[in-house]
Amino acid sequence: MPKITNLAPNVKTNRLPTIGGDSQAEVVEANQGIAPESDKGALLTHAMKFENPDAKPMFSVVLIDDPAHPISDEVLSHLPFALSFAVDAVRDDAHMVAARYRKAGFEVLMLTNLPFGANATDVEVAFGAYARAIPEAVAVLDLGANGFLRGPSTATQIAGIMSDKGYGLITPSKGLNSAQKAAMREGVPAALVFRELDEDGEKPSVIRRYLDRAAFRAAQEGSVIMLGHTRADTIEALVTWALEDRAASVAIAPVSAVLLAQ
């Protein structure tokens, strides 16, 4: 893997308060469940600081944390660009994993997975549990299988919950993009994934070609979101590509910046 240097000076990282603590107030919050958000909502409250003085097209990458391919502390502490990490909210260690990314200065998203046959009450309970597991999530990553696509009523309910909490929404581009439309009707900032980087285990050279195409798309549309996983090949491709000319044409941004521009 190439040497990691500061390739994203417009993003302020490693400046977040330490996650955790044992103050009485924090213990009370944990016992009550969902950590309170400010009046600004989750997206604005937990967004990384981002500056784009040259008004370049925004280029965001969300990586799904894969337990089979963890990022070492050494690599995580030296990543030079504004990646965002999605964590499966039903994992037993979701809170710990998300807190690690937050402590390192990165944004986190909750990857949702509603239980099969969930009714309206189940949806409410599930999202309460997700928010407790990942209290500093800026957005929801919904891949469609067990989320918005269950039906119009479920989509409307989920969108309402997200609107109340101030989350953003990221979804793949599928069919009529009903999840995005339901969210936007409720005032939820929502954006679509342009392409997945490593769905078929692509090698770094192929991933870099995908990134080049995405940069071209960002120049056309103003922003783009790519989705991948915490695979070594994916990280290597991102680090290498960030040193190339095409990367200089875009502003590598946290996903919150793209959502807030919608």
Phi, psi (deg, nearest 5) at residue 250: -125, 165
**What pLDDT is recorded for position 209?**
97
Say how far apart CA 49 and CA 163 lie, in whole Å. 22
Calpha distance 162→134 (Å, rounded) = 14
Average pLDDT over residues 17-31: 33
Architecture (CATH level 2) of domain 24-260: Alpha-Beta Barrel (3.20)
Q: Is the pLDDT of residue 21 over 70?
A: no
Q: Which residue has the higher pLDDT, 148 or 134?
A: 134
Separation of CA 162 from chain center: 15
Q: What are the C-alpha distances in Å from 5 to residues 2, 20, 186?
A: 9, 29, 41
Q: How far apart are CA 58 and CA 221, in angstroms?
A: 9
Q: What tens digit of pLDDT does each residue of 62-121 get?
A: 999 999 999 999 999 888 789 999 999 999 999 999 999 999 999 999 999 888 778 899
Q: How far, in Å, are 88, 94, 134 from residue 67 at the CA level?
A: 10, 11, 16
Q: For residues 211 and 23, which has the higher predicted lDDT (pLDDT)?
A: 211
Q: Enter the pTM of the model.
A: 0.84
Note the pLDDT of residue 13: 37
Q: Where are the domains of the chain?
A: 24-260
> Cα 128–28–135 angle (5° rounding)?
35
3-state helix, strand, coil in the chain (%, to 5): 40, 15, 45
* DSSP bridge pairs for 196: 227
Instruction: Output the pLDDT for position 7.
Output: 38
Residue 141 confidence (pLDDT) above 90: yes
Query: What is the three-class DSSP state of 42?
Result: helix
Q: Which residue has the higher pLDDT, 38 or 96?
A: 96
Task: Using pLDDT thresholds of 50, 70 and 90, give the confidence band for residue 11.
Answer: very low
For residue 22, pLDDT over 80 is answered with no
| pLDDT class of 145 with cuts at 50, 70, 90 | low
The confidence score (pLDDT) of residue 144 equals 73
Average pLDDT, the chain: 84
38: pLDDT confidence band, cut at 50, 70 and 90? low
